[in-house]
Structure 1
Amino acid sequence: MAGRSITVVGECVADAFVEPGAARPGELALRVLPGGGPANTAVALARLGTPTRFLGRISGDPFGELFRAHLAGSGVELSGAVRAAEPSTLALAALDGDGHADYSFHAEGTADWQWTGPELAAARADGSVCVHTGSLALVREPGGPRIEDLLADVRAGATVSIDPNVRPLLVEPEAYRRRLPRWCELADLLRLSADDLALLLPDTTPEQASDRFHRAGARLVVITLAEHGALASLDGRRVRVPAPPTPVVDTVGAGDSFTAGLLHSLAEQGFLGGRLDALTAEGLERACAFAARVAARTVAVAGANPPWAGEL
């Protein structure tokens, strides 16, 4: 794939939602949807029209078949995906009255974290203007450090985007804090949510956090602030965009969709493919406003179901 293609590296997760009204006495009814932060981002990018390649270790179990069908059906290219022998990662989610999900994870020994050097060596990004990764696959052993090595290799020709997507129930925030300086060295774009920021740097404002991440090496820092929109900081130049008013069904996949909208717009404007040297404040504001629209459409429907380009 050439032109403005983007490669996404990371996990697929089966999101099993509790369905309180669907169970008979003595049963628990679940509705299983394909998820996982990187996979959600890849789906959203492809649906927006960006040529997208997904590098993941996808199990051969029924959840893995669900992931493959979902990714391919959204237009994601899967030639770099590994068919893994290990089982899929499962997240059990219960939604509160505001649509926020409370997760418990079943992730020990699952496929997503078991990257080997030869697997990633065979899955190098070819011609992509950007490589995006993050979430659990980047922080969990043994695969995380190997993905970092991949990012160091591809930086010569591709913009690197990282979304830490902190999951404190599965990995202690301190593990993210230890790795964050290295991620800032590797990343041209660092995207976090307000929840991520509260876990990583308590009592730190988005502006203070942005400056700290800039000093560590990240040129562009984008912090999404839920209903308050987003703050973007490019080498210290700030851009703020509001969140479009929208009814919220649930917030699952909202941040992943924002990231996809941001990368899609930056690619479409010709800013990806290096160290973001040509990016302007105007181009950044346009990209963030588009990303906010994509995220708004995602929270208006159930699950991580980002919009197609024609729906925008």
Structure 2
Amino acid sequence: MAQAGSRGSVDVLGECVADIFEDRDRSGAGGLALRALAGGGPANTAVALARLGTPTRFLGRFSEDAFGTLFRTRLSASGVDLTGSVTTSGPSALAVADLDATGQAAYTFYADGAADWHWTAGELTATRNNDAICLHAGSLALIRRPGGSRIEEHLAQVREHATISIDPNVRPLLVPPSAYHERLPHWCAVADILRLSEDDCALLTPGTGLEEACDTWHAAGARLVVITLGGRGALASLDGGRVTVPAPPTVVVDTVGAGDSFTAALLHRLAGLGHLGGRLDELTLEDVADACSFAAQVAALTCSVLGANPPWADGLAIADRR
């Protein structure tokens, strides 16, 4: 296990997605103006981790198209190491966001045949990094075939030397919830940390209380389950011990990327406390509460700006002094 105070490197495996928003200032009777921002749950998590100061390597499959260039530029500018990623001729995935009056986003996805879903066993083997203390994965790359099953096998291998973190990030418009429900026990068997949203839980375990759902996922193998509750904060369960942390007050511009920033900040804090690199054997509920409180603060700052634009460490320090 990493020494207390150490932040070792974290690998993030998954997709990039172009988030497409209407540019209302430029739209009119003559046409609809759109703005493309680099997104995708795993890519957002990698950006947030690197901006917080954790050495981060992103393992992705980039398209050769213009969006692929956008993704690479954003990740590199945030300090993310891309040496484990590959470039391919497949198209980039697109998500058109429709924001309601509260800043909540609903998406229409254009992702069939995207580069992100076609990991080969050889490509994944080449990403192995025995110096990483954690591998975070999830979202569409983990559930879409054919690459998803290969990622599952890869996680089981990497688990020998690293903590495994998974965020299912359920997308029912692209993949039926039943597919996630089928695979989730397999993911819990290799995951040390499972992070979901309250909306994910409603789709995966309809009619089941959050604490009961946590117990089900503990029984399947996940030691730490964290469920984000939007403006109400987060519920965390460590081997059945629970803690709830509030969300700091914030003026919400939109919620895009907030959950990804929460996950990144959680891993960043756990790394700093020396808990990543193994099976969370020394993790206490007090440390979980501390990490989740920090993560809620980072998520709130992400909600205060347009798009998935998580704060940098120096910006977080400024916010602490206000």
TM-score (norm 2): 0.95
State the distance in 2 between where 1:155 and 1:214 align: 17
1:73 equivalent to 2:77? Answer: yes
Instruction: Say whether the 8 Å CA contact 1:190–1:221 is kept in structure 2.
Output: yes
Residue 248 of structure 1: aligned partner: 252
Residue 39 of structure 1: aligned partner: 43
1:17 to 15, 21, 43: 21
Residue 163 of structure 1: aligned partner: 167
The Cα of 1:149 is off from its aligned counterpart by 0.8
1:298 equivalent to 2:305? Answer: no
SS in 2 for 1:129: strand
Alignment RMSD: 1.0
State the distance in 2 between where 1:169 and 1:19 align: 24
2:208 to 194, 200, 204: 204
2:235 to 227, 231, 234: 231
The Cα of 1:93 is off from its aligned counterpart by 0.8
Instruction: Say whether the 8 Å CA contact 1:3–1:128 is kept in structure 2.
Output: no
SS in 1 for 2:20: strand
Percent identity (aligned) = 65
| Unpaired segments ≥5 residues, structure 1 | none
1:275 equivalent to 2:287? Answer: no
The Cα of 1:3 is off from its aligned counterpart by 6.0
| Unpaired segments ≥5 residues, structure 2 | 1-5, 317-322
Q: Deviations over 1:207-238 (max 9, x none)?
A: 11111100111000000001111011000011
1:181 to 176, 182, 185: 185
Instruction: Say whether the 8 Å CA contact 1:132–1:162 is kept in structure 2.
Output: yes
Residue 153 of structure 2: aligned partner: 149
State the distance in 2 between where 1:3 and 1:308 align: 16
The Cα of 1:139 is off from its aligned counterpart by 0.2
State the distance in 1 between where 2:152 and 2:143 align: 10
- Deviating above 6 A after TM superposition, structure 1's stretches of 4 or more consecutive aligned residues are none
Instruction: Say whether the 8 Å CA contact 2:7–2:274 is kept in structure 1.
Output: no
State the distance in 2 between where 1:130 and 1:166 align: 22
Residue 262 of structure 1: aligned partner: 266
Residue 56 of structure 1: aligned partner: 60
Residue 121 of structure 2: aligned partner: 117
SS in 1 for 2:132: coil
State the distance in 1 between where 2:153 and 2:103 align: 37
Q: Deviations over 1:135-169 (max 9, x none)?
A: 00000000001111110001111000000000001
The Cα of 1:256 is off from its aligned counterpart by 0.2
Instruction: Say whether the 8 Å CA contact 2:130–2:161 is kept in structure 1.
Output: no
